Amino acid sequence: MSYILILYYSRYGATAEMARLIARGVEEVPDIEARLRTVPPVSTVCEATEESIPEAGAPYANLDDLRQCAGLALGSPTRFGNMAAPLKYFVDGTSSLWLAGDLREKPAAVFTSTSSMHGGQETTLLSMMLPLMHHGMLMLGLPYSETDLLHTASGGTPYGPSHLAGADSDRPLSDSEKRLCQALGRRLAETAVKLRGAD
Ligand SMILES: Cc1cc2nc3c(=O)[nH]c(=O)nc-3n(C[C@H](O)[C@H](O)[C@H](O)COP(=O)(O)O)c2cc1C
């Protein structure tokens, strides 16, 4: 069964919750499934290593998860207006896939969570697209036919779903943030299935 890889980093759980909702959207589409994967934190002590299996949540991603996916949703909490280092560290290790063109013509999308309303949702989303475009992936956002975009009072952007987690990073996802996550999952899965049919 082909799958959409939902690859994310999450420190406090908000981005992980978004990832699960995107997976739910993917699973609404026949003939394709969702695969959730995360990445370990990175340490300022270069020698520090994590256990190969996380204590809880999605397994850690490996390059094969990415190489064999039919599409990708990449998610990160916003860190100083950009993606978090653990996810960037993983992405920086994907040169072999870039050289082989393994991700070319595959649909991809991005999602993020911030503490503050104007703390960089769009900058993070747009900058997360850059390495995926270098890989030749086909970037998808959210169209305004998702009418939640017209009324956002927290997260939700045409560049991808976002979430306003609040100063303590404990604000639950709003209903419209949830719907936009699911809509993105559906859109990615439908696009991947269509592209596969066009092969
Ligand atoms: C080092 C660091 C930098 C951060 N930078 C920002 C920022 O630029 N804008 C913002 O709104 N939130 C910022 N935050 C807050 C995180 O975005 C917030 O905790 C996150 O959205 C929670 O997601 P998670 O539950 O998936 O970890 C920062 C947090 C850390 C630890």
Which whole number is the average pLDDT over 2-30?
Answer: 97
DSSP 72-101: EEEEEEEETTEE-HHHHHHHHT-HHHHHHT
pLDDT at 43 (0 to 100): 80
| End-to-end alpha carbon distance in the chain | 16
CA angle 188, 125, 97 (to 5 degrees): 65
pLDDT at 46 over 70: no
pLDDT of residue 153: 94
* Atom number in ligand 1 closest to CA 14: 25
Q: Can you give the pLDDT at residue 51?
A: 78
7-16, 41-50, 173-182, 183-192: segment of lowest average pLDDT: 41-50
**Model confidence pLDDT, tens digit, residues 67-124:** 999 999 999 999 999 999 999 999 999 999 999 999 999 999 999 999 999 999 999 9
Report the greatest alpha carbon distance in the chain: 48
Q: Where are the alpha helices (DSSP H) in the chain?
A: 14-27, 63-67, 85-92, 95-100, 121-134, 175-197
CB 76 less than 6 A from any atom of ligand 1: no
pLDDT at residue number 197:
81
User: Given pLDDT bands bounded at 50, 70 and 90, which one contains residue 50?
Assistant: confident
Ligand 1 nearest atom to the CA of residue 113, by list position: 21
**How does residue 47 score in pLDDT terms, banded at 50, 70 and 90?**
low
Q: Which of 18, 21, 44, 80 to mutate to test the pocket of ligand 1 (most atoms within 8 A of CB)?
A: 80
The verdict on the CB of residue 80 being under 6 Å from ligand 1 is yes
Q: pLDDT, tens digit, for every residue of 131-180?
A: 999 999 999 999 999 999 999 999 999 999 999 999 999 999 999 999 99
| Coil/strand/helix, residue 104 | coil
Ligand 1 mean position, distance from CA 30 (Å): 35
The strand pair at 3-8 and 107-114 is best described as unpaired
**Top mutation candidate among 6, 38, 79 for ligand 1, by most atoms within 8 Å of CB:** 79
- Residue 52, pLDDT score: 78
Query: Do residues 96 and 63 touch, judged by C-beta distance below 8 A?
Result: yes
Determine the Cα–Cα distance for residues 169 and 29; give it in Å rounded to an integer: 31
